[in-house]
Amino acid sequence: MIVWQGPSRIDPEQEVVCIVTGFTGTSNPKTGQMLQSWILHAHHHPAAALKSGHDYAICGRCPHRPDPITGKRSCYVNIMGPSQVWNKYKRGGYEKVWLPEDGHPKFRGRSIRIGSYGDPAAVPLWVWESICYNTHMHTGYTHQWRDCNPAYAAFCMASCESEAEVAEAEALGYRCFHVTPENLDIQNHVLCPASDEAGKKTTCDSCGLCAGNYSDRSARIPHVRITVHGRGARLYKENHHHDLRYSSSASHGQSTGGLVDSRES
């Protein structure tokens, strides 16, 4: 279903659309049975937008966008998924719904990934407020934490790639999802229990830690870390090879495995 369409909150000259899918079930091994939300440019196919730079309207300053010289991207999202949604959208395959302030019945009791593709900060905050009003849980991540309204911290983790970024985002009120180039123990971080390095103990819809400051439970855990993974991992490591020295020396050697275990039990 189309939950909102309008000017991007990142680049208001561009029109974007937010589409939620998965009401009849999804099969993502990491997120589990979560609804997925796709933030797409309304007038450019996702693959074309990556080439033309129109993806700025939905991804803003995300460092995983295509390199302007090489065209290579380190984003973990396979563009096939957003492309399928965009094609169906262009065929008129999604109904448009109006989101009331006190929640739409289709979201009641469900879990949702805010921004399965695209950044939640491209969409007005009231859309997420309405959706999360009666969902059971959500996860969300933004790379726009330096620029967007800090109120997004209520719904989203700040996506960070270094401890310096974590400190900066924390000062703005965010909890952080910290992607590291290798498996590191870092103070005030817990390891994502769905990660390879944690043994894939659970899925996001059972865990729910990445809900920004939305719930008391998640807010008790300062930050979440994970080692870079997925399609763009090799390129990410190439781009961050200089960070390896920094991150290793900044590691505090404090085990967080116990925290993960006790949270999951």
- Interaction between residue 210 and ligand SF4 (CB under 6 A): yes
Q: How many helices (H) and strands (E) does the chain have?
A: 10, 9
Q: With respect to ligand SF4, which residue has the nearer C-beta, 42 or 194?
A: 194
Cα 187 to Cα 103: distance, rounded to the nearest angstrom = 37
CB of 181 to ligand SF4, least distance (A): 18
Start-to-end CA distance of the chain, whole Å, equals: 36
- Interaction between residue 139 and ligand SF4 (CB under 6 A): yes
The piece of 40-48, 83-91, 103-111, 203-211 that touches ligand SF4 (CB under 6 A) is 203-211
Binding mask 221-240 for ligand SF4 (x = CB under 6 A): ---x----------------
Q: With respect to ligand SF4, which residue has the nearer C-beta, 122 or 204?
A: 204
Residue pointed to by tokens 């289709």: 106
CB of 193 to ligand SF4, least distance (A): 5
The piece of 7-15, 102-110, 144-152, 205-213 that touches ligand SF4 (CB under 6 A) is 205-213
Cα 223 to Cα 94: distance, rounded to the nearest angstrom = 36
- Say which DSSP state 223 is in: E
- Interaction between residue 123 and ligand SF4 (CB under 6 A): no
Token digits for 264? 């999951």
Q: Which helix (H) or strand (E) holds 6?
A: strand 2-7
- Interaction between residue 137 and ligand SF4 (CB under 6 A): no
Selected binder of ligand SF4 within 153, 194, 228, 256 (CB under 6 A): 194
Q: Which helix (H) or strand (E) holds 218?
A: helix 216-219
- Interaction between residue 158 and ligand SF4 (CB under 6 A): no
Contacts of residue 5, Cβ cutoff 8 Å, sequence gap at least 6: 15, 16, 17, 18, 42, 96
| Residue 156 and residue 141 in contact, taking contact as beta carbons nearer than 8 Å | yes
Selected binder of ligand SF4 within 155, 207, 227, 247 (CB under 6 A): 207
Residues between 11 and 50 with contacts to ligand SF4, criterion CB under 6 A = none
- Interaction between residue 130 and ligand SF4 (CB under 6 A): no
| Residue 208 and residue 215 in contact, taking contact as beta carbons nearer than 8 Å | yes
